[in-house]
Amino acid sequence: MPSGSINPETRIGSNAIINSAAVVEHDCTIWNHVHIATGARLASTIQVEEGAHIGAGATMRQCVRIGKGAVVGAGAMMVADVPPDLVVVGVPARPRAQRGPA
């Protein structure tokens, strides 16, 4: 999308959306069906597993893993891994809810 940046050695799965002004630094892996919303910032070596959603303006420090189906709320600051199907919000991000089966 416009003004987005995807840096070298990043792998992106099928059906993934990297929205306007999002930055995905080097050596990240974005799995299938991931949505990275407007203005999100992913430092290096981030793993975003299948079906996860990164909210607008969220920031991830390097070497963080976002589990399958997890949701990182808008503006959240990730400093640790997020287990599958967990919703996290805030600065620093903390668990908010567990997602149910789709």
Instruction: Kindly state the percentage of the chain with pLDDT values over 70.
Output: 97
> What does pLDDT average to over the chain?
95
pLDDT of residue 90: 97
CATH number of the domain to which 36 belongs:
2.160.10.10
pLDDT in tens, 58-93: 999 999 999 999 999 999 999 999 999 999 999 999
The count of domains in the chain is: 1
Catalytic member of 26, 33, 35, 53? 26
Closest CA to 87 of 61, 62, 58: 58
Q: Model pTM?
A: 0.93
Q: Catalytic annotation on 35?
A: no
pLDDT in tens, 4-60: 899 999 999 999 999 999 999 999 999 999 999 999 999 999 999 999 999 999 999
Q: How far is CA 87 from CA 30, 60, 76, 81, 102, in A?
A: 18, 15, 11, 12, 14
- Which domain covers residue 26, as residue numbers? 5-98
